[in-house]
């Protein structure tokens, strides 16, 4: 399976093409639209989210609610286009001057992009913008629907925002996840949620922006997705690539994460057990469900760190691209905090990687072929 996206933040629309989905797979547009709505929510979003009401258009590769096996083309319109058409149009009479950006924002793609592509900053920021993640959520939602049909479940939670950490109960059952889903901040700790609101208010007053820490979990994945045999087939490597490609993500860890470097081996590795009829499992999950680049049958658990958004209403110093004068960085309308929105994006890019790994292990042209191979494999695992 593969996909590509195209589209600028203030362009006409976002476009995605997916190839390699099995035929006969039931796809719900409502589920995609619900994920798009979730991505738009969350405290700290800026004025743009009041303009957009994202909805996917399913253009090809699907008939009567079922995939046909042909490439799926998706579109999401930018409502803001009507305010930007004169500036963003492909036509030769486009207004290239009035929203030109010559003062790159530290932390953004602005400067490296302008140097690399020999252009003013607008051509860079329009594509670097996290607007593009709307399409990645739509694409990921289709992958997630394949996984749901196979019984794989993906959950996510925010663990920290701007230095405020949610406390973990250690016993995260259904009522805990219910709380996370209902929380504006996607956290399971309501005391921390209160502090996050205060931190956001303070950041707004100070012209600051906030990052955070996020966690995604994948449940009911059998052992054997990914492979140890080649560097680019390792499941953790693929997840890292997908997660770090999301705007503002600066790091990823699995299971125990960086603490694994602090402990001796006996306090890191997960002892193995075997139960008749249930197969192999572990007494702990410090590995985060992946060993040797392969899923090991335990839940896959990853954490990612998101930096604060680079657009600051109290901007940092920069250098004007032409005059070389020291000036303040440009202030584009932006979000103060997009951590809960980014969680929705991470869940969906993770869904894509897992679905891709499933289809690599069980190549199939139709969903029924996939389901049969999946069920047989899972049954065999219990009999080894």
Q: With contact defined as beta carbons under 8 Å apart, do 71 and 59 qualify?
A: no
Please give the size of the binding site for ligand EPS, defined by CB under 6 A. Answer: 15
Of 1, 8, 9, 349, the residue at the interface with ligand EPS (CB under 6 A) is: 9
Kindly write down the DSSP assignment for every residue of 114-178, as one continuous string.
HHHHTS-THHHHHHHSGGGHHHHHHHHHHHHHHHHHTT-EEEEEEEEETTEEPPP-S---HHHHH
- Buried b / exposed e over 203-240, threshold 16 CB at 10 Å, is beeeebbbbbbbbbbbeebbbbbbbeeeeeebbbbbbb
- Binding of ligand EPS by 334 (CB under 6 A): yes
Q: Is residue 220 part of an annotated ligand binding site?
A: no
- Binding of ligand EPS by 328 (CB under 6 A): no
C-beta closer to ligand EPS: residue 133 or 285: 133
Look at residues 143, 162, 191 and name the one whose alpha carbon lies nearest to residue 32. Answer: 143
Site string for ligand EPS, 10-49 (x = CB under 6 A): ------------------------------------x-xx
- Binding of ligand EPS by 332 (CB under 6 A): yes
Angstrom distance (rounded) from CA 275 to CA 35: 38
C-beta closer to ligand EPS: residue 121 or 364: 121
Q: With contact defined as beta carbons under 8 Å apart, do 349 and 243 qualify?
A: yes
- Binding of ligand EPS by 120 (CB under 6 A): no
Alpha helices (H) in 68-131, listed in sequence order: 81-88, 110-117, 122-128
Q: Is residue 109 part of an annotated ligand binding site?
A: no
Instruction: Report the nearest approach of ligand EPS to the CB of residue 128 (Å).
Output: 7
- Binding of ligand EPS by 130 (CB under 6 A): yes
Site residues for ligand EPS per CB under 6 A: 9, 46, 48-49, 52, 80, 125, 129-131, 134, 332-335
Which amino acids are annotated as binding site for FMN, given as ranges?
Answer: 127-129, 247-248, 292, 307-311, 333
Which amino acids are annotated as binding site for NADP(+), given as ranges?
Answer: 39, 45
């Amino acid at each position: 399976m593969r996909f590509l996206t195209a589209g600028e933040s203030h362009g006409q629309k976002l476009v995605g093409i997916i190839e390699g989905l099995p035929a006969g797979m039931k796809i719900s547009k409502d589920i995609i639209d619900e994920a798009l709505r979730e991505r738009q929510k969350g405290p700290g979003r800026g004025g743009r989210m009041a303009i957009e009401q994202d909805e996917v258009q399913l253009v090809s590769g699907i008939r009567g609610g079922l995939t046909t096996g042909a490439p799926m083309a998706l579109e999401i319109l930018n409502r803001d286009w009507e305010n930007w058409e004169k500036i963003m149009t492909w036509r030769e009479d486009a207004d290239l001057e009035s929203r030109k950006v010559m003062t790159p924002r530290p932390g953004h793609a602005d400067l490296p992009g302008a140097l690399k592509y020999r252009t003013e900053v607008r051509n860079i920021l329009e594509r670097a913008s996290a607007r593009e993640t709307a399409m990645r959520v739509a694409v990921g939602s289709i992958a997630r629907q394949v996984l749901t049909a196979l019984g794989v479940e993906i959950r996510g939670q925010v663990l920290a925002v701007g230095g405020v950490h949610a406390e973990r109960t250690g016993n995260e059952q259904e009522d805990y996840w219910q709380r996370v889903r209902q929380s504006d901040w996607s956290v399971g700790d309501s005391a921390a949620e209160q502090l996050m609101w205060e931190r956001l208010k303070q950041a707004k007053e100070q012209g600051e922006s906030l990052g955070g820490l996020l966690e995604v979990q994948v449940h009911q994945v059998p052992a054997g997705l990914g492979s140890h045999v080649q560097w680019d087939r390792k499941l953790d490597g693929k997840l890292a690539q997908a997660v770090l490609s999301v705007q503002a993500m600066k790091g990823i860890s699995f299971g125990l994460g960086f603490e694994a470097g602090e402990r001796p081996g006996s306090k890191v590795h997960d002892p193995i057990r075997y139960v008749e009829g249930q197969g192999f499992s572990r007494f702990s999950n410090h590995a985060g469900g992946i060993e040797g680049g392969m899923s090991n049958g335990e839940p896959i658990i990853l954490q990612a760190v998101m930096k604060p958004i680079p657009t600051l209403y109290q901007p940092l110093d920069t250098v004007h691209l032409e005059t070389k004068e020291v000036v303040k960085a440009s202030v584009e309308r932006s979000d103060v905090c997009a951590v809960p929105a980014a969680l929705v994006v991470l869940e969906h890019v993770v869904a894509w990687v897992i679905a891709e790994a499933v289809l690599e292990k069980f190549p199939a042209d139709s969903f029924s072929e996939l389901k049969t191979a999946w069920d047989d494999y899972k049954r065999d695992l219990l009999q080894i």
